[in-house]
């Protein structure tokens, strides 16, 4: 099971990077997007990146615009939808 999770994690990471390239995110935007998807707050992202909250907010707005979403929930939903696409309900 551990190997399967590692393989899935690697495949998901590759998918994230591919999608970030398709959206033409800068390296900084890609980092911020990943932290946002992982659930980090704006303040946490700013602290980890050594920048101001306002910079992170501006980067998030650019990410949402490039991704064609309105905010973090839609950004996360985009990736969840991709992961579960094709999985049929069991009930």
Interval 4-57: pLDDT, tens: 666 666 778 888 999 999 999 999 999 999 999 999 999 999 999 999 999 999
90 in a structural domain: no
- pTM over the 0.85 mark: no
Give the pLDDT of residue 12. Answer: 81
pLDDT of residue 32: 98
User: For position 60, what pLDDT does the model report?
Assistant: 98
Total domains in the chain come to: 1
Is the pLDDT at 88 greater than 80? The verdict is no
- Asked if residue 76 has pLDDT above 70, the reply is yes
Q: Label each residue of 41-58 as H, E or C.
A: CHHHHHHHHCCCHHHHHH
Q: For residue 5, what pLDDT is reported?
A: 60
Residue 27 lies in a domain: yes
Question: Which CATH number is 12's domain given?
Answer: 1.10.10.10
């Amino acid at each position: 099971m551990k190997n399967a999770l590692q393989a899935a994690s690697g495949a998901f990471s590759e998918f994230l990077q591919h999608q970030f390239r398709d959206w033409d995110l800068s390296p900084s935007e890609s980092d911020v997007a990943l932290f946002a998807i992982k659930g980090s707050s704006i303040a946490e992202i700013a602290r980890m990146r050594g920048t101001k909250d306002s910079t992170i907010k501006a980067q998030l707005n650019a990410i949402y615009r490039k991704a064609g979403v309105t905010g973090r929930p839609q950004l996360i939903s985009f990736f969840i939808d991709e992961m579960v696409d094709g999985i049929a309900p069991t009930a």
